[in-house]
Structure 1
Amino acid sequence: MRPVISLKGLSHMTGSRYLLKDINWDINQGDHWVVFGMNGSGKTTLLTILAGFKPLTHGSLTVFGEPYTNDNVLEIRKRIGLVSASFFDQYYTRESALDIVLSGKFGTFGIRYDIQDEDIIKARKLLVELHLGDKIDQLFNMMSKGERQNVLIARALFSNPEILIMDEPCTGLDVYAREHLLNVVRDLAEKTDIAIIYVTHYTEEILSVFDQCLLLRNGYCYTMGKTKEIFNTKSLSDFLRFPVDVKIAEDEKIYIKMDIKSNVRDVIRGSDIWLQ
């Protein structure tokens, strides 16, 4: 079976600095991957390259068997749903929620002339389902962070994607919206053959459906493999370079406990503390 996404030695440089270096990774239709790493590890850069919004500088990338070109990039983007507030917040400001969702039809930032009535109906239904029924005509920059996140989720799902790429999708969501989204993701994973790539900082968001995992550190692939084999006390302690205790709850959610000391109280009270 040919992978829907294949990376060979993929790298991305800014100036003389590598944000990603020598990533080799194959993703098949129906795979469910979680990507985990600290801030600055290259996660968002990797996802935006996969979705065709940022170029690689070295190596190769094929999506649905083809490399991105000027001729095919929009057609491929239509088959991929990308949720990334850290990326789209750079481009969207005064667009309405409805127009942003409709742009998912074209793989662009804006909408084109061939919008049909059924497209508008579908976009409105998605926004209602994501609790934005009263925000359909609201401007993006007038929404809360959680509302903006839900708009991007609706945009990603609009074209019924074959690949769904989610960059910290629960960021800014309240507890109800977070659980609702996780249930949506679980349902898509269990009942469709969509390939899902899910980035998070929080291990309790790693659903049992995410049976494969890639750990990124400083732009390099630290390791990849079965999630159950990677998310254990020893492996995570080595990866994070700090002792952690990993626990798997009865609902199969993963929790990490870290014993981190703080001297903030002493600092604000004026106590003498030697700078390390």
Structure 2
Amino acid sequence: MNEPIISLRQLSYKVGSKYLVQDINWDVLPGEHWAVFGMNGSGKTTLLTILAGFRPFTHGFLEVFGQPYTNENVLEIRKRIGLVSSSFFDKYYAKESALDIVLSGKFGTFGTHYEINDEDVVKARKLLTELHLKDKIDQSFDMMSRGERQNVLIARAMFTNPEILILDEPCTGLDVYAREHLLNTVRDLAENTDIAIVYVTHYTDEIIDVFDRCLLLRNGYCYTQGQTKEIFNTEKLSDFLRYPVKVSEVAGEKISVNMDIKSNVRDLMLGSEINDR
């Protein structure tokens, strides 16, 4: 049996008196493809940045590639992980060019170093061109649209041919073409490589069939985890969301969740009387 490539036991992260994630137990085996699903504020980004070695945890146990993070190995481990998280990297990148950001993936840092060679530059340029950023290669991060910044981070994540690919709501800000391009890229990597993929979203239609495993996060806790087909059903998801939903599949490839949610905004605008729901 394969040893986990990611292993968590009672992992927690606490800020002041509040836990952002608490008591997470989770194993990811080499080549597995996981969807992590939860609403805003459920701890998804916090968990991912801990896994990728960019944030310390306060309690529990974590091993990646069979090693706990230390000051000595953190950069070497980061080089083997591709992380896409605009909510994280937007705090650190501003005036850096798209090219330099992609090249920084080689080192697991936020900046580039003298070890850059011509082959690295050629590869980074090709990735940015494939992601429709050929004319943005030397543009600063803060002068790009949200979708363009997201594509820069995708190129950075892919640059080192990672063994683990962690995607934190990667479709955010992408137009319809770029979104389908990304989802097709993820499908291709899942079906034709040995990369372990962790894909975080709060949109069920992004949970394509290659994600055969799923972890649900709610208020920093693991609500449940296991086979996606066993988790994404009407009864279990209604309980998870605390609202009645109807779950169905779209062409056997995507999950559709329908919610009958009434809006009182129009009545409030017009000053109409509103009945309690």
CA offsets 1:60-100 (integer angstroms, 9 cap, x no match): 00000100000000000000000000000000001000000
**In 1, distance between residues paired with 2:13 and 2:183?**
31
**In 2, distance between residues paired with 1:258 and 1:67?**
42
Q: Which residue of 1 aligns with 2:258?
A: 257
With structure 2 as the length reference, what TM-score do the two structures score? 0.98
Superposed, 1:86-235 pairs within 5 Å as 86-235=87-236
TM-fit CA distance, 1:102: 0.2
Q: Which residue of 2 aligns with 1:79?
A: 80
Superposed, 1:45-64 pairs within 5 Å as 45-64=46-65
CA offsets 1:166-196 (integer angstroms, 9 cap, x no match): 0000000000000000000000000100000
SS of equivalent to 1:210: coil
SS of equivalent to 1:239: helix
- 1:44 and 2:23 matched: no
**In 2, distance between residues paired with 1:242 and 1:20?**
23
Q: Which residue of 2 aligns with 1:239?
A: 240
TM-fit CA distance, 1:225: 0.4
Q: Which residue of 2 aligns with 1:269?
A: 270
TM-fit CA distance, 1:274: 6.4
SS of equivalent to 1:260: coil
CA offsets 1:112-142 (integer angstroms, 9 cap, x no match): 1110000000000000000101100011000
Moved over 6 A (4+): none
TM-fit CA distance, 1:247: 1.0
TM-fit CA distance, 1:275: 7.5
Counterpart residue type for residue 109 of structure 2: T
Q: Which residue of 2 aligns with 1:10?
A: 11
**In 2, distance between residues paired with 1:219 and 1:129?**
36
Report the CA distance shift for 1:274/1:243 in structure 2 as closer, same or farther (over 3 A).
Answer: closer
* % identical aligned pairs: 75
Counterpart residue type for residue 188 of structure 1: L
SS of equivalent to 2:135: coil
Show structure 1 runs of 5+ residues with no match: none
Q: Which residue of 2 aligns with 1:70?
A: 71
Counterpart residue type for residue 250 of structure 1: A
**In 1, distance between residues paired with 2:273 and 2:261?**
20
CA offsets 1:142-186 (integer angstroms, 9 cap, x no match): 000000000000000000000000000000000000000000000
**In 2, distance between residues paired with 1:177 and 1:267?**
37
TM-fit CA distance, 1:272: 3.2
**In 2, distance between residues paired with 1:210 and 1:251?**
12
SS of equivalent to 2:23: strand
**In 1, distance between residues paired with 2:83 and 2:18?**
26
**In 2, distance between residues paired with 1:275 and 1:36?**
30
**In 2, distance between residues paired with 1:168 and 1:209?**
16
**In 2, distance between residues paired with 1:147 and 1:159?**
20
> Aligned-pair RMSD on alpha carbons?
1.0
